[in-house]
Amino acid sequence: MQIERHISVFEDEYLSRFNNLPEMTDEELVSFLAQSHVEFILIHPFREGNGRVSRLLMDFLCSKAGKGTLDYSLWDEYKDFYIKSIQAGVNRDYQHIEKLVRGIIK
């Protein structure tokens, strides 16, 4: 019952800014990608697959921003930090996931 409401908020806060991606500074883009990644993962209703779908969404957003697709091997290498970064994002503490996003943007 909550998914529809959360998707609506996600659309308003993130997807509505899709056309602005090419004009974002690098730091604005990092912040946007980090926050949208965490928030999408928290909405995704399935135990499996949310990371893959979230990465596809991030690649799509990065392509629109002119950055191309991303290499997530850094995230795989630091998987425990990645998971803790997502958990911190539950409390809207995005600084850790921003560090990971900054590390993979070309």
| pLDDT value at residue 2 | 83
What is the identity of the amino acid at 17? R
Which residues constitute the domain of residue 38? 3-104
CA distance 3 to 80: 27
Tokens linked to 65: 């921003």
Q: Taking a C-beta distance cutoff of 8 angstroms, is the pair 96, 88 a contact?
A: yes
Number of domains in the chain: 1
Whole-model pTM: value is: 0.89
Which tens digits make up the pLDDT trace of 78-90?
A: 999 999 999 999 9
Q: What is the CATH number of the domain that holds 93?
A: 1.10.3290.10
Q: Any residues with CB less than 8 A from the CB of 16 and at least 6 apart, and which?
A: none
CA distance 18 to 82: 25
Question: Would you place residue 1 in the very low, low, confident or very high pLDDT band (cuts 50, 70, 90)?
Answer: confident
Tokens linked to 61: 């957003």
| pLDDT value at residue 49 | 66
Helix ranges (DSSP H) in 18-72: 26-43, 50-64
